[in-house]
A and B are shown apart, each in its own frame.
Chain A
């Protein structure tokens, strides 16, 4: 035990005096989380709840114009702008601004649009009641609404806007139709009837995230990027750890250690322990950064989920897997350069495959299938289970087992390789 404690103390001193290594371990992931979260924030918002400003020109100045504006504003993700730099928007300005990509959408409600709907409503009521001959559709005037879209806008977004607009206009058409019917009936009844109103849709919609316990958390840039880049940073200890192993070997220290009492597992235990602590600190720092610092950059705060023990175990399993992999690469590589290049490239590849850069669900089918080979993916999906789906230990048991298993296998293989190399 004293030997292990002495080794841990030694590894601790080496670690705290390696400023470059510490910078890589703590500073790099902090910057990565911040930059990547900010960069990907708008993409995630588009996936979730993009806030879009619509240039709005209401030539109608009647019910339709007012209701559409209200409807857009009530969505919460569409902002309506009727002036530009203090000036009322004209159609030319609106067109110009959208064409330049400054706004993604502009909307013009033509003069007389509401009146056209009223007229059409009255005629339809009269026809229904048998006071009019069959009306041809082209004989009715139509309300005109012009939509200007930025050519770069996604088609799915255009469809969403059109559907929303149709929904608002249908409501207004319905209301006008009811009004026309009420007015018409009043002429033939002894007492004026109660005004007919549209009681609203007969169908109610309820949105629930498919998880039993924790359905408030919406996937966003923070919920993805903080765990993703924390995992990446944990695996990036491959640089300092392989450097440590190879320096020991190149300087003859590994030989000296082998000549001293004690087995190789004791020396490795100390390294694994120190890097495990570092990894856990990294994780704690990143999670707190996500919770307290990212909101200062107008980003949502990271929400941990209800299962803190599961979170801690997932962090532990991840750092152990990263340590095992680093020890393995350190044992195989002959030089520091080899380890640094192979280590960096392999972690970047495993990160890409594992969904760190781009979430797995956004990848093509082939890459989604390939993602399961990456231990970073096992970890990320575990973090997703905890942070997004409110999962606890039962939900992440498989991920934990895979990561702990990976740690043990890589460590044993690393020891076997080292022994073979040293044995000549």
Chain B
């Protein structure tokens, strides 16, 4: 019996209104369940566009995409229930406390009563925020906000978790807590789709990667295999530069 992939993308195109070049230029990809998949690429490569289409907040110009066998567009409400998203922005209400933010977000995913309360307490405990649960988010440090942002994305125990640069701009301690937690989450069966500019972190964290440039996937595979298959690269960062060049990518 064939196993349903976590993500399946077939010939996906996206051109923004008024743009000359497509943001996604016919990408196709299949990510098996249970992977930590790194979607890497320079600025403007199309990573966020891909994630936004997969999460149902952006319409593709053409092509198809499935999440856990469900079709984007047609089954979007079902998809929203099984995915979790941790955006790069701190998407939290600054005037609400951590508990109020999580309570609201949990309720949106159908959690309520004791289940919701227990889930909030557990999550805050894991990320070291339990002592600050009743403080408004605007009083939090950058690292605390980043951790809370992550909790908001995993409150409902999603099958597939999208992480858009989850460790950007935080200290080593916070980063370690986040990465360790994500590894545990993956070990429990959650598929993780991850984008980052920290290639060293991606090399050690991801079980599978794809490098995206100018709207196309230029390489994909397991990080170690890719490094070995490309002599002279030595590590993921060097391989990345070999493939995408050193030209600045302002867009």
Contact = CB atoms under 8 A, between A and B. Distances in A.
Given A13-B100, A252-B91, A2 B77 contact: no
Contacts of A10: 93, 96, 100, 104
Nearest to A7: B104
Contacts of A262: 108
B157 interface: no
Contacts of B96: 10, 13-14, 17
Contact of B58 (A2, A260, A424): A424
A9 interface: yes
Contacts of A3: 107-108
Nearest to A18: B95
B109 interface: yes
Contacts of A7: 104, 108
B59 A424 contact: yes
Nearest to B95: A17
B154 interface: no
B161 to A, nearest CB: 12
Contacts of A259: 55-57, 80, 83, 85
B91 A255 contact: yes
A158 to B, nearest CB: 61
B43 interface: no
Interface in A109-136: none
Contact of B93 (A2, A5, A14): A14
Interface in A1-49: 2-3, 5-7, 9-10, 13-14, 17-18
Given A13-B96, A17-B136, A424-B16, A260 B57 contact: no
Contact of B110 (A253, A255, A261): A261
Contacts of B16: 424
A10 B94 CA distance: 12
Contacts, number: 80
Interface in B58-98: 58-59, 77, 80-81, 83, 85, 87-96
B95 A252 contact: no
B152 interface: yes
A3, A10, A257 — which one has the most chain B CB atoms within 10 A of its CB? A10
B100 A258 contact: no
B27 to A, nearest CB: 16
Contacts of A6: 103-104, 107-108
B9 interface: no
A15 to B, nearest CB: 9
Interface residues of A, number: 25
A423 interface: yes
A256 interface: yes
A255 B104 contact: no
State the main secondary structure of chain A at its contact with B.
helix
A269 B104 CA distance: 15
A423 B104 CA distance: 25
Contacts of B93: 10, 14, 253
Nearest to A252: B89
Interface string A406-424: 0000000000000000111
A422 B57 CA distance: 7
Contacts of B91: 251-253, 255-256
Nearest to A15: B95
B17 interface: yes
B92 A261 contact: no
B118 interface: no
A255 B85 CA distance: 10
Interface in B30-46: none
List 7 tightest A-B contacts by C-beta distance, closest first: A252-B89, A6-B107, A252-B91, A256-B91, A17-B95, A10-B104, A260-B108
Interface of B: 14, 16-17, 52, 55-59, 77, 80-81, 83, 85, 87-96, 100, 103-105, 107-110, 112, 136, 152
10 contacts: A2-B110, A2-B112, A5-B107, A7-B104, A253-B92, A258-B57, A262-B108, A422-B57, A422-B58, A423-B58
